[in-house]
Structure 1
Amino acid sequence: MPGLKVSVIVPVYNTGQYVDECAPSLLGQSLPADEYEVIYVDDGSTDDTPARLEKLAAGHPNVQVHTMPNSGWPGAPRNLGMEHARGEYVQFVDHDDKLGAEALERLYAHAKRNDADVVIGKMSSTMVRPRRLFRHTVDACTIENDELMQSLSPHKMFRRAFVEEHGLRFPEGPWILEDLAFVTAAYLKAERISVLADYPCYYWMKRGDGGNNTRHRFNPRHGFWPNCRTIVRQIKDGTTPSDDIDALQNRLLHRLYHVEVLSRAREPEILREDRAEQLPRFEAAREVALEEFPPAVREGLPAVSRVRAELLESGDFDGARAFAEHIGAVKARGEVGPLRWEDGCLTADITLDLLRGDGEPLVLVERDGGWWLDPELLDGVPGAGAGYEVRDPFRLAYAEIVVKDRDREDWWYPEGDLEVRLEPAGDGRSRPVASGRLRVDPERLAGGGPLGRGVYDVWAFVQLLGVDRMVRVTGDGT
């Protein structure tokens, strides 16, 4: 099969029926069958998965099946798949997910047009929120575009020569975060990275049995913390240290600190586990935070996240738990004006803010020429009696409108931005709000084309002071 454009690599283990559910999306691509191959690597399955794979291979000349002893993780099967790949590009797919029908054709064309080392296709999912990374198609960027860190799953297209040149491989065996290790290494080495956002390429599906067995919950027994340290050091080795909170290294490390470390000190985790189980996680996270992350990473966090970080790094488990209870009760509110049609667009004015657990707006208090965090959020937090100064109320703050297709799980982004500001609330208080105009053009919203027939919901996503929430926008003012 000379001149193959793409090799699709699929690690499988005891996949059973999900082989048959995923296969049509891989084998029914708009890219001609003689221009791509599908490489299944079975990681020592003990069910009927091998028989299902052999049946697929018998009926499709562009399907390969390779087997290996069980490694317990997808890294080794992916590496074996790369050894057998013949395509110019490789695309990783998990066995319980699906590709859009034109995904390979569009991704390959985008890669060739931009001479890209890595192409990130838009992801749709039943399990995750939309990502700003997929708001616009990007022809070429580098790791300087730190929004890339929003997408660290391996489900991307990589130039095979680029992977070989830099010796990129997944860690093998029970190595949690193996996808982060591979993808961050690729981002740091890539000269050109492209983003395809005008077509849903990859559908990250939730299994009916709750399995999704290539994705593992946090588990320190699988080396979570040593592996996290490895990835942090990988980023440090590939970037220049700086005390500037907006320097590249600190921006890249922000994601790991916020998602992998700080999550052990915030809701829901710190609230849903009993103390005996949660406290060791908290202490381990504290150790990694202090030893691996430069102070500028914490200093660059928005206000609420900085409070969490200071509680974590000071070892104040009870304070972090009390703070998490207050923040966990915060909800987003959307106030929508009358819906109307203007120039073919569904239009309405919208204002978003945050409500505390008691239903009152979350506010900042003006004091001594600065802004201080809503004192209700600090009630019961040891050592917080003097309050907490908010150095920059707009740090990493943003808000946006997204439209979701209920049936296909696709997210689309209307044009226009919402403005984040402080609105006076009386008595020296102001509430952080985001406001602007919702404009939905049904003829151009879906990647520049018309929306398909179906039911759509309008959602608002808001991140204020480090609190991120989604709220469904309706026409009745709620």
Structure 2
Amino acid sequence: MEQPHVTVVIAAYNAMPYLTRCVDSVLGQSLAPEAVEVVAVDDGSTDGTGAELDRFARLHPERVRVVHQENSGGPAAPRNTGIGLARGRYVFFLDADDYLGPEALERMAAMADENGSDVVVGKLVGVGGRTPPTSMFRRDQPDADLYSSRVFWVLNPMKLFRRDLIERHGLRFPEDLTTGEDQIFVTRAYLHAAKISVLASYDCVYYVLRDDGGNLTTTVRNAPRPGGGSAGTFAAMLTLVAEHTPAGPRRDHLFTRLFQVNLQRALRGVRREHERDPERSRRMFAALHEPVARWYSEPAMARVPAIVRLQGELVRRGLYEETVAVVRYVRERRLALDARKGRKPVRWLAPADVTVENGRVFAHYPYFRDSRLGLPDDVFDVTHQVGARSFVRPRSVTVAQDRRDTRVLSVRGRRRTRLPAVALELTATRASDGRTVTAALPAPEPADGTGSTGSTGAQGGQGAGGAFTARIRVPQPGTWHLALRIAGSSTPELPLQTVRVESANPAHALRAWLGRSGRVARPAS
């Protein structure tokens, strides 16, 4: 029999009725029928999944091969079984819950053939509320550099792999982990790949959230094994990257992802176990502390959000109780802010208060300037994460010129009332020479809020319900760019509007306004 171009490996466990659509999407691919084979492994299902796979095998005996095996407790073993049976030049792993776009395999294989790619990452599309990563799918990338692109931020196995890469390096899914085994496999493939490509111009994989919450990759069906869980995955990933990548910017790029995503997931497990089994929780924490202390990277941690930096610093120091307290704080704070209820990794967690000093913004997270722990301020620095738009609703902001004096510009808007009300500045910068004037917009008083006078020629005020008004007077005519920024900080500004000031003479402006109103303008005295 002629060698298939692509083998699709489907690991299935109690996947009905999603399985039918999954297999149909593979058999209906635009590639020639003989170019695609299906190796489906029933991992001890009890809901009719095995019978449905046998039905497909009877209908398509030349294209579908089915293996039935006892339940292994995770997707690693059935995927490994599929690898051993694959005959195609390429292997694609597809979860039984998900399905392919009609031209997915043809387009991905063509990209691999044209570019000599060992791995092709096809665009993921969420279905049923599932939210796949998106940052790596902004454009097609025939040669995506692992150490500068965002491909390391997508580590699920639903990709096209050159089978020669898999066999040459003996790549298999580790069966001793209950979660994260796919990340280990994909990371090894990435590190060994001569070239990685990204196909973003076509919807390749439809990533389904099951109604019953039974997605294969998100359900742990058996009791945890020794070394399993997110803590074991994180430790293994750190070691794997460190062993294959010398210290420096390339390693730091990959470590950034591990600290920002994997460490947070592992710490959520530590917190949950703390409430059920404190001793097991401490063992999980110890499994995190050792690799973090060993491989801790200041440049990598400087790139992650401050709340993650804080957790990483506490883990590095081995401060178990404090770490659990911060992870609990993250959960409670996110629930208060209605930010996806903690299901996604934290990117920016708004604190209850901030301090602005010397152009830097510090979040009042737990243990900020706590003399007992003596954590450096850098751990709490959110200067590059926040700007005025973090504290103001950009769409609420309006700009108007005073009718009587066109040099006076008024800005109205609303603050985000669930976030701390920091002091802001309204800036006006002239396009011709860069001259800038500012207006202070103080933080409101805790009770009713009061207006206050800012710098010369500028006023700011705070109204009820988060509303604010700022007025600024420009000294000369010209084109002026208005923006808001956090007072005293060096964070990027929130650009508002460009205004053309025609005249610097208020009497001229007043006469023009009176004339438009149908009134007789009197000469200025």
Q: Which moved more, 1:133-142 or 1:318-327?
A: 318-327
Alignment of 1:425-444 (within 5 A): 428-430=487-489
CA contact (8 A) 1:31 1:105 kept: yes
Partner residue in 2 for 1:459: none
Q: How much does 1:138 deviate?
A: 0.3
Structure-to-structure mapping, 1:139-150, within 5 angstroms: 139-150=142-153
| 1:10–1:92 CA contact under 8 A, matched in 2 | yes
Q: Deviations over 1:399-454 (max 9, x none)?
A: 9xxxxxxxxxxxxxxxxxxxxxx9747564449567579xxxxxxxxxxxxxxxxx
Any idea what SS the aligned residue of 1:133 has? coil
Taking the TM superposition and a 5 Å limit, the aligned residue runs for 1:19-98 are 19-60=19-60, 61-98=62-99
How do 1:49-448 and structure 2 match up within 5 A?
A: 49-60=49-60, 61-125=62-126, 126-172=129-175, 174-216=177-219, 223-224=228-229, 225-242=231-248, 247-265=249-267, 270=271, 274=275, 280=282, 281-314=284-317, 315=319, 316-317=322-323, 320-321=326-327, 323-324=329-330, 327-328=333-334, 356=350, 365-367=356-358, 370-375=359-364, 383=372, 388-389=377-378, 393-394=383-384, 424=425, 428-430=487-489
In the alignment, what sits opposite 2:408?
Answer: none
Cα shift at 1:9: 0.6
TM-score, normalised via structure 1 length: 0.69
Identical positions, percent? 33
- CA pair 382-23 structure 1, distance change in 2 beyond 3 A: farther
- RMSD (Å), alpha carbons: 3.8
1:377-414 Cα distance to aligned partner (Å, 9 max, x none): 767977589983466833799x9xxxxxxxxxxxxxxx
Q: CA deviation at 1:282?
A: 4.4
Partner Cα separation in structure 2 for residue 194 and residue 305 of structure 1:
30
Alpha carbons 2:363, 2:381 under 8 Å: kept: no
- C-alpha separation between the residues in 2 aligned to 1:95 and 1:306? 37
The DSSP-based 3-state class of the residue aligned with 1:197 is strand
Determine the C-alpha separation between the residues in 1 that align with 2:66 and 2:139: 36
Change (3 A) 1:356 1:238: closer
Q: 1:396/1:219 Cα in 2 relative to 1: closer, same or farther (>3 Å)? A: farther
Highest CA radius of gyration, 1 or 2? Answer: 2
- One-letter amino acid of the structure 2 residue matched with residue 223 of structure 1: G
For residue 108 of structure 1, report the CA deviation from its aligned partner. Answer: 1.1
Would you say the 8 A contact 1:99–1:201 is kept in 2?
yes
Is contact 1:9–1:93 with CA below 8 Å preserved after alignment?
A: yes
In structure 2, distance between residues paired with 1:433 and 1:253:
26
Q: Is the 8 A contact 2:9 2:93 kept in 1?
A: yes
1:10 aligns with 2:15: no
Q: Is the 8 Å Cα contact of residues 373 and 387 (structure 1) preserved in structure 2?
A: no
TM-score normalised over the length of structure 2: 0.64
Q: Give the structure with the higher percent strand.
A: 1
Separation of aligned partners in 2, 1:8 and 1:255: 28
**Greater displacement, 82-91 / 316-325:** 316-325
The answer on whether the counterparts of 1:271 and 1:325 sit within 8 Å (CA) in structure 2 is no
Q: Alpha-carbon deviations, 1:5-51, whole Å to 9, x = none?
A: 11111011233333223222122212221211111112233442222
One-letter amino acid of the counterpart of residue 30, structure 1: S
Cα deviations by residue, 1:344-402 (Å, 9 ceiling, x for unpaired):
xxxxxxxxx989576xxx755023xx5140447767977589983466833799x9xxx
For structure 2, the residue ranges without an aligned partner over 5 or more in a row are 340-346, 390-422, 426-439, 443-486, 497-525
